[in-house]
Amino acid sequence: MKTLFSKIIDRELNANIIYEDESVIVIKDIHPKAPIHWLIIPKIPIPTFQDLQKEHFGYLLAMTEVIQKLAKEHSLEKGYRLVVNNGPDAGQSVFHLHIHLLAQRAHNHDF
């Protein structure tokens, strides 16, 4: 069964796309916790951070490079927060690995 993010990647569902390349898609969170709240998503369905395997590390590197690129392009280098929820006990609701990028809010205690 496809995840919500797989459906967005396959264009079965609409999303506000910030960035996309062959490995990664970045979308705006539909329930933002900060003025900038983006989700950085690999284009392969890895359910959780704990499910990452050595063969997935290229995707993790691509996600990191995209985060740094977007931070520079949007003048966020002075501060942003990255959050990964791993599993239901951590609040993960979509079981397709993703990194939350939150910015432009001095203190965010919602995560």
Alpha helices (H) in 1-111, listed in sequence order: 4-9, 57-73
* Backbone torsion region of residue 18, taken as left when φ is above 0, otherwise alpha when ψ lies between -120 and 50, otherwise beta: alpha
Catalytic-residue membership of 107: no
- CB neighbours of 65 closer than 8 A, spacing ≥ 6? none
CA–CA separation, 34 and 4 (whole Å): 22
Residue listed under structure tokens 């970045």: 26
Nearest to 26 by CA among 9, 13, 45, 12: 9
Among residues 96, 98, 100, 109, the one annotated as catalytic is: 98
Q: Which residues are catalytic?
A: 98
